[in-house]
Amino acid sequence: MEKSAKLGTNKTGVDTSPIHSKEMASGAKQYTPATGREQDLNAMRRAAIEDAERLGSVPIPGTAKGMLKSMMEKFTGNQPAIFVNKLGERLAFERAGTRVYEAMILKAEVANAQGELPFQIPIDRLQHFHREEGEHFQLLIDCMEKLGVDPTAQTPDADVSALAGSGMMKVISDPRTTFPQCMEAMLGLELTDNAAWELLVTLAEDLGQDDMARQFKKALSEEETHVREIREWYEKCVRSQASGATH
Amino acid sequence: MSIKLFDSKGIPLEKQKFSLKELTPEPISKLDDDAYTRVRVILMNGIEQQANRFQHMAAQFNKDLREPLARIRRTEHHQQTMVNWLLGADHSPLETTIGYEQVAIEVTAAIAQQEPDPYLSQVYRFGLLEDFDHMYRYSALMDRVEGKDANNILQSYTDVIPGRPTSEEHRHPEDDLRDHYDRKAAAPISKMNALTIMSGEYQTRDYYMNIGPTFTDPVARALYAEIASIEEQHVTQYGSIIDPDETWMEKWLLYEANEAYNYYSCMESETNPRVRAIWERFLEYELGHLHTVAELFKQHERRDPAEILPENLPDPIAYQSQREFVRKTLEREVELRANGPKFVDKAQEAQRSLDYRTHLNSEGSPSETVAAGYQWQPGTELNQRFARAS
């Protein structure tokens, strides 16, 4: 079964039906009055942004004691709440990332079996990354519990981060997408993840959480490997397809 | 090919079976399939949805019919599932919306032309110009908020130009009610046309009500809320052209005949062989339903179904670009308004509708805002803007 993108009967562009398209374009000019301004739309959007309430709040710790209590006493302002929000975001992202790698491993197994690419995708590396995503998830559970924060709660940044990643997850779970298409989505997720771990290390250091910062640095180092290898495979996938198409 | 309704027995109900795997067929290609394949998929989902809705209501009012209704309805439900799952997940909700409006325009225009009753034809043309405007507004939204070209979905079959402005479509409920056809005098095709268009509009209303709140952009949320309100008016309009004195059994017969007619129309024009096979199969299923219902009709009403149904299915609905007809209608009838069941010039519109509209629009009009100064260009309006700048 041919799985890579190829030349075919794509009907989405105007060149597919030049007569219809010409009529459509001339009709748009002839029948559309040139009134109003596009800026009206942004005025409506601006007003909505100005009036909007937020998505929700960072959960209040169930047991405000231990590390979080001392952190809240030591640091004024929102710093501890932001840290909790970001810990919750990372936790949710790593949990989802574990599932994403499961979907990627399946895709890779089928791609290898069907010879979608002129080389074998290293499943063992994907399985390794999958395991690390799960370990990072567990690390964050432990960190939140130490702080007395409920690791099952969905923080606002966890919510938004899942929304941002939802398109990439759709790409990976669609049976019709090719392995390179999935790799591009994966690269987007890993690049975001990488930057987020860097920030989490800094936030932990800012709050004097040296143990956490050290553990986060280890996770960051592993995530850097994910990004590097995913990027290399992605490029190799696309370039091998391109060279295959021209020979 | 002509289908003789009473000679074609179709597939008996007891042989109409599905596995769960069959309910989720391989989707059509958004990129490579013809836009009319998507149009047919969306319409048939609406036809099945309305059949299901009608049959549930019928069961609430007719104890004796509950068992056969339940049996047929289960098959209809699975037919709807199989049809609707043909839509690929790479369609964004807004892309599917463009598909829904393409259905409303292309199918309503085809039906307005085949409708023998001049008043009903006028009703369809009136609604057509409103859905036509929705296409323009949603295309502007797609271009300006998502940075996409609606014509990737339309494939140049359907114009993106203003119709009767959506902001002026808001009417008092009394001005959405039309005169109904006479069950004893109307042609069978008139009755079936009414069911087709009402079904399409009803699913559009429900679709917008479901997906509208899933948008994050405030203009998108507002536009869906506004256009959903017009779709509710359209369901009111098209529901009101149906004779309320038809019996439940009479209506059920018509629904089944209309489903058969629509699958037949789809089958005759389908270009995707795999989808065509589904239309063929479901035509046979609907003929099976029709014959079951025809027997019930004889039992319960002691009447001949031939009093209600035509001998042959009418000529199929034309699935081809209706650009010329739509533009002519636009030029002649864009200024028409409704006053009760009558269509009048803008100047004679009822005060109640003017008052209703003024209040509804009093805090802004999303449909005007989203499309202010919008003119469709191949490749989006940004294409034009940067061409000018360079």
Q: Are A32 and B381 in contact (CB under 8 A)?
A: no
CB A8 to CB B33 under 8 A? no
pLDDT band per the 50, 70, 90 thresholds, residue A66: low
Residue A46 falls inside a structural domain: no
Q: Are B201 and B235 in contact (CB under 8 A)?
A: yes
Residue A201 falls inside a structural domain: yes
Look at chain B and count its residues. 390
Residue B309 to residue B304: CA distance in whole angstroms = 9
Residue A228 phi/psi, 5° resolution? -60, -45
- Interval B40-60 mean pLDDT: 98
Q: Are B272 and B34 in contact (CB under 8 A)?
A: yes
Q: Decide if A24 touches B, using CB distance below 8 A.
A: yes
Residue A89 falls inside a structural domain: yes
Residue B129 to residue B45: CA distance in whole angstroms = 23
Quick one: pLDDT at residue A3? 59
| Residue from B158, B128, B120 nearest B319 by CA | B158
| DSSP for residue B4 | B
Considering only the beta carbons, identify the residue of B144, B157, B375 that sits closest to A41: B144
Q: Decide if B323 touches A, using CB distance below 8 A.
A: yes
Residue A52 falls inside a structural domain: no
Residue A237 falls inside a structural domain: yes
**Residue B330 host element (H or E):** helix B323-333
| Residue from B283, B383, B326 nearest B125 by CA | B326
Residue A128 falls inside a structural domain: yes
Counting the structural domains of chain A, the total is: 1
Residue B190 to residue B172: CA distance in whole angstroms = 26
CB B378 to CB A176 under 8 A? no
Q: How many CB atoms lie within 10 A of CB A119?
A: 11
Mutate to test the interface with B, among A9, A23, A40 (most CBs of B within 10 A): A40
Residue B158 to residue B131: CA distance in whole angstroms = 12
Interface confidence (ipTM) of the complex? 0.89
B302 exposed, middle or buried (CB, 10 Å; 0-12, 13-18, 19+)? exposed
Using an 8 Å CB-CB cutoff, list chain A residues near B144: 38, 41
The beta strand positions in B163-322, using DSSP E, are none
Quick one: pLDDT at residue B372? 94
pLDDT above 60: residue B389? no
pLDDT above 60: residue B298? yes
| Residue from A149, A148, A165 nearest A94 by CA | A165
A59 min Cα distance to partner chain B (Å) = 23
Using an 8 Å CB-CB cutoff, list chain B residues near A34: 373, 375
What is the sign of the dihedral through the CA atoms of A201, A205, A208 and A213? positive
Considering only the beta carbons, identify the residue of B90, B159, B372 that sits closest to A24: B159
Quick one: pLDDT at residue B332? 98
Alpha-carbon separation of residue B170 from B174, B201, B329, B365 (angstroms): 12, 16, 20, 11
Domain with A125, as residue range(s), is: 77-242
A112 exposed, middle or buried (CB, 10 Å; 0-12, 13-18, 19+)? middle
Q: Which CATH number characterizes residue A124's domain?
A: 1.20.1260.10
pLDDT in tens, A120-160: 999 999 999 999 999 999 999 999 999 989 999 999 999 99
Mutate to test the interface with A, among B98, B155, B221 (most CBs of A within 10 A): B155
- Interval B196-217 mean pLDDT: 98
Pairing of the two strands B336-339 and B342-345: antiparallel
CB B159 to CB A10 under 8 A? no
CB A28 to CB B160 under 8 A? yes
| Residue from B270, B261, B247 nearest B290 by CA | B261
pLDDT band per the 50, 70, 90 thresholds, residue A1: very low
pLDDT above 90: residue B386? no
